[in-house]
Structures are given as structure tokens and as C-alpha cells.
Amino acid sequence: MSSEPDDLPDADIADAVSPDSLERTRRRSAQIEDELATDPARFRVLTGDRPTGHLHIGHYFGSLANRVRLQDLGVESFLVIADYQVIYDRDGVGDIQDNVLNALADYLAIGIDPARTTIFTHSSVPALNQLLLPFLSLVSDSELRRNPTVKDELEGSGRPMTGLMLTFPVHQAADILFCKANLVPVGKDQLPHIEQTRVIARRFDERYGRAVPAEPVFPQPEALLSAVPLLLGMDGTKMSKSKGNTIELGTDADTTARLIRRAVTDADRHITFDPVSRPEVSNLVLLAALCLDRDPVSVAEEVGDGGGGGLKKLVTAAVNERFAPVRARRAEYLSDPAMLWQVLREGNERANAVAEATLDDVRQAMQMVY
């Protein structure tokens, strides 16, 4: 058991995305899916979003729809609106009130049930953030700097590295462990954060683990890999709120049609699904297939020689049909902001109760109950 901070071994968190580790995670994810079908109550899930803009269809197919699926399976779920994380890479909070309100409307419109999923904000749960102090003592500076997210920020942002950005992986660990979540749905690029959380949970118990009861203070959370392929933006690059190449969940039908008409395709009139050689065309085919719950190859065959125009017409119809009910419910929720803020207040109350109980466990383990 380590006794001093400088005795900490530096874990190579980036190994979480090595080919061998990734294959093990994929196999384990498949096993977890089987377990979810038979015993969903043994899992507790943490997911979340940064309120830096409005949620879009990439969020929906990449994570939101899966959150509803897990909730409906009977998995206890916590959903953090990570408002403190807005400021780790920017100078202010922007339109945070609007972004949080719209996120609440989006969650309810897609089927998140606040009676079964606890929706809360970082800034409203002091005990969660207080976990950062003991957790920070369990990681080294060099370990944090090798985390892929931190490395990318350090190398590519052109901005000074803030203390909040450097410790971002530890804050994510606090998000997961405050509610003792044992399952986190992620894409493969987020696996290092799960591994960092596992390391922190393990080191805490090695250093402070309680003898009675003889069990860890924190679980070892596992990753549930997303099976949905990555959707590109309408310009053929990574879909991003900051790039303005998204279709937001609240976008109306006419604006959706206009955005899709401007989408990048290629000169070949015959439509095929070939993500490697024809990424932009294939992205539109995939979007239609996801909306229609169909195989993308069959969607491409249906369009055939219809060219980019025929493909965009199909995609527009599919997107508008799929999201029309979501848009209607979303507008209804936004017409009653008092109800949305009440949902958040109730979620914050539940999250605070859970966080306080976890912090009590931490204080007991650290012999800091006075």
C-alpha cells in the first residue's frame, strides 16, 4: 500500500485503447449486454453532457438513444449536465442557462424519465466536487499529462493548460464514483477516462480501504462500448457544435432539409455504402439507415442511380419523420420552463443525497469524521 504521493506508480492510461485492451473491452461489453438482459438491477450507470450548445442528432444516435434503452431495461441511471466542465477550455460559460434548459427539454423529449434517471448539474452537488481533493492525491502530474484528452488539449489548443483541464480526468472519476456507478457507456476514445477512474478507485481502497465492512469503498466501473458508428457533420468532418455542421434535435423540418441539401457528397451518381472510399456519401446513407432502422447497404441500393439529390431527399424524409415526435414534445416542454427547472431541482436533491452518503463513506475510510 502506497503511503506517500511520490510513491505512486505512473499508470499508462493510454494502454486502454491498445488493440489487445480494446478487444478485451469489446468482449466484456458483449458479456455485459447479456447480463443487462437478465439482471439489469445490478448495474448503475453514469452518463452526461457538457452544456456548451444544443444537442444534435449525433448525440442522439451516439449516446442519448442508448441512455433511454438502458433506463427502460431497468438500469438505475444518473445523468450529469457537466456545467463546471464548460469552463475547462474556455473563458466563460456562454449561454449556459439556455443550454441547460434545452438539454432538459431534449432529455425528456427523447424519453428520459426523471423518475427513473436522476438528472443533475455539477455545480449543484458540492459533495461530488469535494471528492476531487482525496482523488487528486492519488494521481501524479505525469500520469495526468499522458491522458489522451489532456495531451490533445496541451498540444492542439494554443491556450495555456488550466488546472481544471489538467485535472479533468479526475473530475470525471468523481462524476462516476460519487454515485458508485459500475457501468459507463462510452466510445473507444473515452476508454482512458474509465481506466483512470478504475485506477483511482483501486488506489483509494489500497490506501484507505476500510476493514469493516470488508468491501471496497468504490466499485471498479466498466465500459459499455457503443455499437453505433461515428456520424460525420454535414460538411464531411467530425460532427461538432463548435463547427456548426450539426442538425440539432430541435431543428425544424425546413431547416433540416436546407442543411441536408448543403451536405457534401461526391461526383459518382451511383450511391454505394463504402465508408472508406466514399465517407461523405456513406455518412448520409448511414444517417438515413439509423433513422429508418435499416441496414445501410440496403438503403444505398434503394437510392441506386438516384445520385446525391436522390440520397439527400431520402435522408431528409427519414430524419424529419424520425424526429418529428421528438420536436413536438420538445416544444411542449420548452413552453413550460418552470416545470423543467423543477425536474432539475428534484434531480439535484437526489444527487446530493447520494453524494453526501458517498462522502460519508470516504470520510469514514480516511478517519476524518469529527
pLDDT tens series, the chain, 370 aa: 333 444 455 556 666 667 888 899 999 999 999 999 999 999 999 999 999 999 999 999 999 999 999 999 999 999 999 999 998 878 888 899 999 999 999 999 999 999 999 999 999 999 999 999 999 999 999 899 888 888 887 777 777 888 998 999 999 999 999 999 999 998 888 888 999 999 999 999 999 876 555 678 999 999 999 777 788 888 888 887 777 788 999 999 999 999 999 999 999 999 999 999 999 999 999 999 999 999 999 999 999 999 999 999 999 999 999 999 999 999 999 999 999 999 999 999 999 999 999 999 999 999 999 9
What CA–CA distance (Å, rounded) separates 210 from 192? Answer: 27
* CATH class of the structural domain 5-228+337-365: alpha beta
- What are the residue boundaries of the structural domains of the chain, listed by start? 5-228+337-365, 253-334
Sign of the C-alpha dihedral computed for residues 59, 188, 45 and 38 taken in this order: positive
Vertex 88, ends 86 and 93: CA angle to 5°?
Answer: 35
Angle at 131 between CA 127 and CA 132, to 5 degrees: 125
> How far out from the chain centre does Cα 313 lie?
31
- Spatial distance between the Cα atoms of 178 and 218, rounded to a whole number of angstroms: 9
User: What is the fold of 253-334?
Assistant: Tyrosyl-Transfer RNA Synthetase (1.10.240)
